[in-house]
């Protein structure tokens, strides 16, 4: 359970998040929508405790994380699996070592076991052939998928956080990622997907949160989203009219 | 006026919190050496890059510094009829002063700048955040190996550099200035007393530590894209050079006092 209670956050003098309050259960499939630079990534960073709010509380499973130290936060972070917007693979390590990173860090697996596990994870995301590649040799979509595989190796998360997993990908790859996201949450695990592609959000999520100028302007299901009369949302979903899929 | 002083106050506060963060990083970086997990592989990798990788440039620079020094001294001392002192003066200057400083400056340019830019790029690419997401302490994983490798490799490089400089000096003294090689070496050997060797040996440890801390700190505080990376790399090198020269003076003063030289 993630609860934001009147959270404010600013970079320098620029306020990015204003008095934001919401709560998300760990089995919910939530999409956070909003334009570029509205603070979507910032919200994910706040959940992970990577940045601290100026005021307000962020409560995760009943614990306020805003006052926790880096050491104490480790436990909280283990509950989530975050995939960054850019993928953020370690560029000095090849794909295999990237995926194996947490296995080496936290388990005492032998080389064989690691190899098998990494193969398995890469197969799940469909890039097994790229095992020996360096990150700079990967395409955007592969990068994203390896990054998902790496975070799967990290822990058994309670919830997945994806930062724009499909942006900049061709429709086929985007579709694959959506399938992967649904696949991973099959056993009732929730996720938060941050995106500005409504099509993808509608495919995977069941609850939608819309941000505008750092404030929550919409929170509801797909039905409500499609019939919302908020102008910004209408602009967002007009994309669907062109595609002719308004009646999904 | 009010605006101006407010701006100054903000700058001052930033400076103080910067300094505080820097001290904290330097402190934690060392403390982590004794805490699990030990990132041995990363440390060895860093040592290879910093040490073996810098050998060639240290060799060239030290050789020519030694030769130039010997040339200058031979010229000046022979005018005064004191050519026999060439070895002695070269020895003292190289072992106590030039060797450590030259090695540290070269190290800053080659290794320190690399550290700052590498860590800076990792920050910008969210790789450092990813480490934190995985519950790995970036200071332990990234900074400590670099500190360890610097305080081991810079002294080693300094010793090599010293030796090469002395050989360079020997070459000039014997083959250009026609002095006796045996005399050159014996006067250098006379200078290899505890006081000289100690004051030359303590410096590279301090320099190595300073370079690693400064460069890691500036690298990790990189903000704002390619321009930010340029700024932080430049800052890392500039700050390191200043700190090397200043701390060299301070150390020299302390060491001379402690070792009982009168100035
Ligand atoms: N490190 C930073 N320093 C200063 N400002 C920042 C920093 N990171 C983000 N910002 C600002 O904060 C605002 C929100 O950033 P955020 O990354 O959360 O946007 P976003 O909604 O994820 O956008 P996008 O869809 O483009 O990824 C942006 O306007 C950005 O300019
Ligand atoms: Mg973003």
Query: Which domains, ranges and CATH numbers included, belong to chain A?
Result: 1-79+158-166+173-248 (3.40.50.300), 89-156 (no CATH)
Q: What pLDDT is attached to residue B199?
A: 87
Ligand 1 center–CA A13 separation, angstroms: 13
Q: Which of B203, B231, B225, B23 is nearest to B116 (CA)?
A: B231
Ligand 1 pocket by Cβ (under 6 Å): A 11, 16, 34, 36-42, 85, 196
Q: What ipTM was assigned to the predicted interfaces of this complex?
A: 0.85
B80 or A241, higher pLDDT: B80
- pLDDT for the residue A38: 87
Ligand 2 ion local residues (Cβ < 5 A):
A 41, 85
- Residue position matching structure tokens 């590649």: A133
The per-residue pLDDT of chain B, averaged, comes to: 92
Determine the pLDDT at residue A248: 46
Question: Contact B125/A102, CB-based, under 8 Å?
Answer: no
Backbone angles phi, psi at B259, to 5 degrees: -85, 0
pTM value is 0.87
Which ligand 1 atom is at minimum distance from the Cα of A45? 18
Q: How confident is the model at residue A75 (pLDDT cuts 50, 70, 90)?
A: confident
Chain B CB contacts of A154 below 8 Å? 133-134
Verify whether the Cβ–Cβ distance B129 to A45 is below 8 Å.
yes
Which run of H or E residues covers position A220?
Answer: strand A215-220
**Element containing residue A195 per DSSP (H, E):** strand A190-195
Ligand nearest A196 Cα, by number?
Answer: 1
pLDDT band at A244 (very low <50, low <70, confident <90, very high): low
Phi, psi values for residue A235, rounded to 5°: -60, -45
Locate the domains of chain B by residue range: 36-252
Confidence at residue A144, expressed as pLDDT on a 0 to 100 scale: 86
Give the residue, by CA position, lying nearest to ligand 1 atom 14.
A39
Read off the tokens for B174.
Answer: 């014997």
Strand-pair partners of A11: A14
Which residues of chain A neighbour B3 with C-beta distances below 8 Å? none
Output the pLDDT for position B5.
Answer: 87
Predicted local distance difference test score (pLDDT) of residue A140: 82
Kindly tell me if the per-residue pLDDT of B116 is higher than 70: yes
* Vertex A109 angle, CA A148 and A73, to 5°: 55
Torsion B209-B210-B211-B217 (CA) sign: positive
Query: CA gyration radius for chain A?
Result: 18
Chain B residues with CB inside 8 Å of A82's CB? 133
Ligand 2 centroid distance, CA of B136 (Å): 23
Residue A238 has pLDDT above 70, yes or no: yes
Rounded to a whole number of angstroms, the distance from the CA of B183 to the nearest CA of chain A is 52
C-alpha pair distances (Å), B17 with each of B8, B14, B143, B220, B243: 14, 5, 19, 15, 19
**Longest C-alpha distance within chain B, in Å?**
72
Alpha-carbon distances of B41 from A62, B57, B145, B160, rounded to whole Å = 39, 25, 9, 25
Q: Which ligand is nearest to the CA of A195?
A: 1
* Chain segment B179-209, per-residue pLDDT in tens: 888 999 999 998 888 888 998 999 999 999 9
Which of B126, B130, B135 shows the shortest C-beta gap to A78? B135
Is the pLDDT at B3 greater than 70, yes or no? yes
pLDDT at A128: 87
* Ligand 1 center–CA B225 separation, angstroms: 13
Q: How far apart are CA A82 and CA A71, in angstroms?
A: 18
- DSSP state, B135? T
Rounded mean pLDDT, A158-173: 84
Terminal-to-terminal C-alpha distance of chain A: 29
pLDDT range class, residue A172, cuts 50, 70, 90: confident
Residue in A with minimal Cα distance to B123: A88
Interface contact A91-B130, CB threshold 8 A: no
Nearest to A88 among B125, B135, B136 (CB): B125
Residues B53-72 pLDDT 10s: 899 999 999 999 999 999 99
pLDDT score at B127: 93
pLDDT per residue as tens digits for the range B19-63: 999 999 999 888 988 888 888 999 999 999 999 989 999 999 999
Cβ burial of B227 (10 Å; 0-12, 13-18, 19+) is exposed
């Amino acid at each position: 359970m993630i609860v934001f209670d009147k959270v404010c956050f600013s970079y320098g003098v620029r306020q990015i998040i204003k008095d934001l309050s919401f709560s998300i259960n760990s089995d919910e499939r939530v999409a956070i929508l909003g334009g570029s630079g509205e603070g979507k990534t910032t919200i994910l960073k706040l959940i992970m405790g990577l940045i601290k709010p100026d005021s307000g509380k962020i409560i995760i499973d009943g614990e306020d994380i805003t006052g926790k130290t880096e050491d104490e936060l480790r436990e909280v972070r283990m509950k989530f699996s975050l995939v960054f917007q850019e993928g953020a693979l370690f560029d000095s390590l090849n794909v295999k070592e990237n995926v194996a990173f947490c296995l080496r860090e936290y388990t005492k697996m032998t080389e064989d076991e690691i190899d098998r596990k990494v193969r398995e994870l890469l197969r799940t995301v469909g890039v097994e052939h790229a095992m020996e590649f360096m990150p700079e040799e990967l395409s955007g979509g592969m990068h994203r998928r390896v990054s998902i595989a790496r975070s799967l190796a990290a822990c058994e998360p309670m919830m997945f956080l994806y930062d724009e997993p499909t942006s900049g990908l061709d429709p086929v790859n985007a579709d694959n990622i959506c399938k992967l996201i649904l696949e991973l949450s099959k056993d009732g695990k929730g996720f938060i997907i941050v995106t500005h592609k409504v099509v993808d959000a509608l495919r995977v999520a069941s609850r939608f949160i819309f941000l505008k100028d750092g404030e929550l302007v919409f929170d509801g299901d797909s039905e409500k989203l499609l019939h919302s009369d908020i102008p910004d949302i209408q602009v967002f979903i007009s994309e669907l009219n062109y595609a002719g899929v308004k009646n999904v | 006026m009010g605006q101006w002083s407010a701006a100054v106050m903000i700058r001052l506060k930033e400076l103080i919190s910067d300094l505080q963060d820097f001290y904290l990083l330097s402190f934690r970086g060392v403390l982590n050496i004794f805490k699990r997990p030990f990132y041995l592989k990363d440390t060895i990798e860093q040592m290879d890059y910093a040490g073996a990788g810098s050998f060639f440039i240290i060799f060239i620079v030290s050789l020519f510094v030694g030769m130039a020094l010997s040339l200058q001294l031979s010229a000046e001392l022979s005018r005064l009829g004191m050519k026999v002192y060439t070895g002695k003066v070269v020895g003292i200057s190289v072992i106590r002063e030039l060797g450590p400083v030259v090695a540290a400056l070269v190290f800053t340019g080659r290794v320190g700048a690399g550290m700052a830019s590498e860590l800076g790029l990792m920050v910008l690419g969210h790789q450092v955040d990813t480490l934190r997401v995985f519950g790995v302490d970036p200071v332990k994983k990234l900074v400590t190996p670099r500190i360890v490798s610097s305080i081991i490799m810079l002294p080693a490089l300094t010793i090599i550099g010293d030796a090469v400089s002395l050989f360079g000096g020997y070459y000039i003294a014997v083959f250009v200035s026609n002095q006796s090689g045996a005399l050159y070496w014996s006067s250098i050997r006379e200078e290899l007393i505890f006081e000289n060797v100690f004051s030359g040996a303590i410096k590279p440890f301090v320099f190595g530590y300073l370079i690693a801390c400064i460069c890691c700190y500036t690298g990790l505080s990189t903000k704002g894209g390619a321009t930010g990376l340029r700024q932080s790399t430049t800052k890392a090198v500039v700050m390191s050079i200043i700190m090397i020269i200043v701390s060299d003076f301070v150390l020299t003063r302390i060491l001379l006092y402690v070792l009982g030289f009168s100035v």
